[in-house]
Amino acid sequence: MNEEVPACELTSSPAVSTIAPSAITPPIKSARGVEVQQTLVMMPDSQPEIGLSDDEPKPVSDIAAAEAANRAASESNRSATGFDTLIGKIVVERGLVSADELQQCAHIARSRTEANGFPVSLTELLLENEYVTKRQIDRLRTDLEAVRSTQQIPGYQIIRKLGAGAMATVFLAKQLSLDRFVAIKVLPKKFSSNQTFIDRFYREGRAAARLNDANIVGALDVGQAGEHHYFVMEYVDGETLHDRILERKRIPEREALVLIRQVASALKHAHEMGFVHRDIKPKNIMLTKSGVAKLADLGLARAMSDREAAEAEAGRAFGTPYYISPEQIRGAVEIGPPADLYGLGATFYHMLTGRVPFDGTTPSQVMHKHLKVTPTPPDHINTSLSEPTALIVEMMLRKDPRDRYQTANELLIDLDCAAAGRSPEYARAAVDLAKLANDTAPTGDEATSVRRIGTPVSVGFIVLVAVAVISVILNLALVAALVL
């Protein structure tokens, strides 16, 4: 399976990631080669403690020096202990070390602290024994700092990080007033002074707030707390469609039809509300434990009526290379519902076949194929697919947006037909021989002209035949006369 290139303005920086427990950063390797997921694990009621004291004791006499050293050691030990406690929990939870190995390091740390008179941290011993790498510890420290900083958002208790992208970090949190879990997307500090990123962040929140559909992740709040810009949304306890494809490779046709129909329903609502998503892909489709699909991540969404934004973005490609529509690649000003339906078609194709419609070693290669190459029919890869489903996918992936479904409602009608085992009402084979015959048959003045030309040709042919017959008869008569 190919690693998916993140959604992005392909001439600029990547967009945000999805919100899900499974939408975490890639697996990392421990010093012993054990692959683990990079997920921050904390107790729900715990608050992270960060920071090792850099203060050195400043003795003014032997006694004072000893007292200062003891105080510094005690303070540093408490600080180190807080961090070490969290690190100890995390490294065991992630499988980097065993509980026995952690206990052994902790015992050595206490012994050295007592013998040397200054604290020896558990982290140092984990590094010394090569149970973890410095990069892993730095990554954990960064995660904990991120969690600590977001505690400043009033009314919410941060529990753990769910995932991170180039433009945002997403946390699981508890909304204290309603005692419920939510997901909070936070704009990184490095973008807090960039008005372009701030505007895009709030645009996502406003777009999501206008949408109210059972198959769209709901928006709850957006705001600023100190240096942090945040967006609170519905927490979906489940997995992404991308996770499910990785696990199963192919999704059974009946199941795929149900899930795609739910996303098409979400798009129908979004389009009717005037928004085009522009980044439909498996990672942006959440699946609840009860089997409901929810469309997420409106980071690239745009109001179709926003002509100013459309013209400002003209000539630039926004989207994810494996699922982006041809018109988005070209940077067309007019980006409408067919673009989202193309992305959904590429997603549908991936679900049914276990592969993306087009592959390549670079994003440019992949996008060139979207523009120029016809994908292998899905039923040629997965021969168990029904003809109606294959026709639907092929129509969704037509190059020209005018040849695709024009509305999500048209797609919903055909999906229902396929689910019922009937032929689609809109989707047809790329080459329809009956239609081709009708299209090439002469009509109107052209047909009249043909008929006019055909009439003298037919009369001439008859005359020639008549002359030939008469000639034969005369010749026979002449031969008979000579014989007599």
- Catalytic residues, by residue number, are 279
Q: How is residue 19 annotated by DSSP?
A: -
| Cα–Cα dist 473/467, whole Å | 10
Tokens of 10: 């392909």
- CA 229, 231, 235, 238 dihedral sign is negative
Task: List all residues 6 or more positions away from 222 whose beta carbon is below 8 Å from its beta carbon.
Answer: 202, 205, 206, 209, 230, 231, 232
Tokens of 396: 């969704």
C-alpha 470: how far from its chain's center?
A: 83
Which parts of 252-297 fold into alpha helices (H)?
Answer: 253-272
**Residue of 9, 4, 1, 5 lying closest to 316 (CA atoms):** 9
CB neighbours of 179 closer than 8 A, spacing ≥ 6?
A: none
- Token pair of 469 as six digits: 């017959």
Residue showing tokens 């795929």 = 256
| Phi-psi category of residue 291: left, alpha or beta, with phi > 0 → left and psi -120 to 50 → alpha | left
